[in-house]
Structure 1
Amino acid sequence: MKNRKATIRAVFGSNAGSAGAHNRRVIIDAIRVNKALSRAELARATKLTKQTVSNIIDELEQDGLVMPLKTIREGRGKPAKPYTLASNGAFAIGLQIDRDVARLIVVNLTGDIMIRHSVKLDSVNPEEGFETLVDLINAARAELEQMCCGASGRTAGLGVAMPGPFGKLAAMANEANGANDDAYSMAVWQRFPLVERLKERTGLDVSLQNDAAAATIAEKLMGNADSFRNVVCFYFGFGLGAGLIINGELYTGVDGNAGEIGLLKPVISSAETESLEHMASLASLCHAMGWNPSDDNLFAHITTALEENNFVMERWLEQAASYLRWAAQGMNLMFAPEATILCATAPKPLIDRLVCMINEDMRKMINPSGAPFMMAGTADQWAVAIGAASEPISNSFSPRHSALVKS
């Protein structure tokens, strides 16, 4: 149980008669953030009337979304009954589609991971790869139903994350990476009607975002971005992207393409013609080292090369760090964030080393005694899928304006 005297964090509700749906979300979010709150605490934190809070709590309890905890006594007042989220009140599925693998996560309402699976994916044949995805989703839903009877009817939706860019910007990606180079942009998958087909085959609400945005949400949920309202998160995976959190909300831009920095062509020297993600990404590291990106032992190879101070690895690190620093400086000048974080689908020692090199360069250039320029974030191959799973939960239960517009 939390300290009952701690400051309660909550979004304000509205006592106007037409704000019922928003107020439900406000109550759910306040309980989620603070873990457990009594009706009186909810009323004080959200500025809603006690009667409004009581009505909503009764509805949420009837719907199986909240549950009471043991009654506690606060001073000389009446005993208080805290309410917490019912973990099995709702579920969501997160699906990451990457170049050679698909990763699936099922989470419950409180963010606990119930199921996780990964399968090899055909990255050049979306029709065949789509059937692999449907089988993976169906198997996970059947497993969830065995774990929790009736879970199918409480599944908020399916969040999908894959490499961008989407829409019109995809043509620019193809040009930047070469017309025949599908490794970065997964162009054939971009042209595949993935969302529509998944809705048809699963019957779920399906949302799509790029992998950098999903990784940023995961960093907000379980990483170093949780205490900041304005953050730039660089996502270092097979390609390279960035996610922007502005005033506490993920900024997605047109077609969800905000943060597609991998397409930039840095002018660090006059000879540079490659895009940024060709110089600073897992794909570029694999190319430099002669590794197969789909090798199951890739992370072990990277860790070993770091430990042995491999010459090729060291040379690549210097290159990647300089390009990432260049990109981070640009993003900092444009957005002036509270924090800049590097998160990844990569081994943590690699991310720690890159961040250390970037911060050392910045200290030499700007302020030898200043705070670190960049923070090392989550290095977890499941982070993108976790971020994708958070979208259906957020869309159904978050009080943020963008979620209300979607609904």
Structure 2
Amino acid sequence: MALKGTNQEYGRPYNRRIVLETIRVQGPIARGEIAKRVGLTVQTVSTIIRELEANGFLLAAREERRRRGYPATELTINPDGGHAIGLHVTPRGIEAALINLAGAVIARRERKLPRLKPAAAFDAIGDLVVALRKQKPRGRMLGIGLAMPGPFDVESMSFVGPTTLEGWNGVPIRERLAEKTNLPAFIEVDHAAAALGERLYGAARDIRDFYYLFFGVGLGGCMVQDGNTLRGSHGNAGEIGHLPMVPGGEACPCGNLGCLERYLSCDAMERRAQKVGTDGWIKDVTPLFRSAIVAIENLFDPLAIVIGGIAPPAVIDKLMAAAQPLPHSVAERRDRSVPRIIRSANGEDAVLRGAAALAVSGVLSPRIGLTFAANDPLMEREAAA
């Protein structure tokens, strides 16, 4: 990702954030290299680094001396310099995790609440957040990120059916979350949050262009291009589960027939496995899975497709194996350096780590247009200046 500094009026906090994000993604890294990457002077970068060190966000260590001269100081993120909470709300309940700046899960909690209603969900979230904050009572809490099934604000598809959260239509989710937790709050659809977690902490950390196929209760996907998740004009890109793939097939709550997630999702797997077993389900859906892979590759041309979500890793492995050999597509190249399909390294943690990363990125990373909360820890020194 090409992060560049700015001389516009909001430049000081913005530049601070791009320096911190560069260290978080590229560290250990020296000041001079940071300056080259973000397009700022070494003096400006050094000033920013002093501020970040004063806030406890960075760790510094001297390079081993290999030649004449004073060795450069290499900078990394201080894992304990801040924490965030990741939430995953599904039709089956709530998972929550406390995550440090390095993406490590410090503690986790869950609450099984099938078909949960908003009031009960936010009460449970409040309890879970209190329990998690006790794990780091003196730690700096940056914010909270919530991942949930989409799409959002689509009358015929949002919050209807067994793979989403029925009865949540019209709920001011972000506002309720911030009010309940007293933390800067960020919301994202679950497959995009999982893709973000995989980009930062998982199998795709060194892959700039990949597609994340998310097996949730339903099925979603997200293209990551040059390190950025592509979300579409209304944030609903990636609803691959609602592609009609079986002519005259099963009715879907969205109103169409034969949607992919009616066959290829955790909900579909559990329904079908009651009759034919998990292996029988895999055999039945393998042709659809192969078609989905080819469609993704021909539409997006990713370097690889990362497959993850809440489905058991062993099931994903069997499905990937059954799909071999993969059909022809634009991805079939002799110079490939990675496999066409890769299982997520994060497993079920991908969405939680990604949800927490939403809060970290929302507070620390350079996205113009974000509204930063009054208790943004990076803004405290700015206000005092």
TM-score by structure 1 length?
Answer: 0.80
Contact 2:16 2:48 in 1 (8 A): yes
Contact 1:93 1:159 in 2 (8 A): yes
Indicate how the Cα distance of structure 1 residues 230 and 42 shifts in structure 2: closer, same or farther if over 3 A, else same.
closer
Indicate how the Cα distance of structure 1 residues 237 and 252 shifts in structure 2: closer, same or farther if over 3 A, else same.
same
Question: 1:47-89, CA deviations, whole angstroms, 9 ceiling, x for partnerless residues?
Answer: 4322212211111112222233257535211243333222222
Confirm whether residue 374 of structure 1 aligns to residue 360 of structure 2: no
Which amino acid in 1 is paired with 2:289? L
* Counterpart selection for 2:104 from 108, 112, 126: 112
> Which residue of the partner structure matches residue 69 of structure 2?
77
Which amino acid in 2 is paired with 1:133? I
Structure 2 matches for 1:21-170, cutoff 5 A? 21-70=13-62, 72-145=64-137, 149=138, 151=139, 154-167=140-153, 169-170=154-155
Indicate how the Cα distance of structure 1 residues 190 and 255 shifts in structure 2: closer, same or farther if over 3 A, else same.
farther
* Counterpart selection for 1:398 from 357, 365, 376: 365
Q: Distance in 1 between matches of 2:167 and 2:9?
A: 49
- In structure 2, runs of 5+ residues without a counterpart are 251-256, 372-385
Contact 1:280 1:319 in 2 (8 A): no
Which amino acid in 2 is paired with 1:186? L
Indicate how the Cα distance of structure 1 residues 368 and 213 shifts in structure 2: closer, same or farther if over 3 A, else same.
closer
Q: CA deviation at 1:118?
A: 1.2
Confirm whether residue 358 of structure 1 aligns to residue 344 of structure 2: no
Question: SS at the partner of 2:29?
Answer: coil
Which amino acid in 2 is paired with 1:172? M
Which amino acid in 1 is paired with 2:67? G
> Which residue of the partner structure matches residue 157 of structure 2?
172
Q: Distance in 1 between matches of 2:325 and 2:335?
A: 11
Structure 2 matches for 1:188-203, cutoff 5 A? 188-203=167-182
Confirm whether residue 275 of structure 1 aligns to residue 259 of structure 2: yes
Question: 1:316-354, CA deviations, whole angstroms, 9 ceiling, x for partnerless residues?
Answer: 112322222222322222222221221121221211111
Q: Distance in 1 between matches of 2:303 and 2:320?
A: 17
Aligned residues: 363
Q: CA RMSD in A?
A: 2.9
Indicate how the Cα distance of structure 1 residues 35 and 99 shifts in structure 2: closer, same or farther if over 3 A, else same.
same
Question: SS at the partner of 1:362?
Answer: coil
Confirm whether residue 249 of structure 1 aligns to residue 213 of structure 2: no
- In structure 1, runs of 5+ residues without a counterpart are 1-8, 175-180, 292-310
Question: SS at the partner of 1:315?
Answer: helix
Question: SS at the partner of 1:283?
Answer: helix
Q: CA deviation at 1:170?
A: 4.8
Identical columns (%): 31
Deviates more, 1:223-232 or 1:243-252: 223-232
Indicate how the Cα distance of structure 1 residues 111 and 262 shifts in structure 2: closer, same or farther if over 3 A, else same.
same
Q: Distance in 1 between matches of 2:6 and 2:122?
A: 44
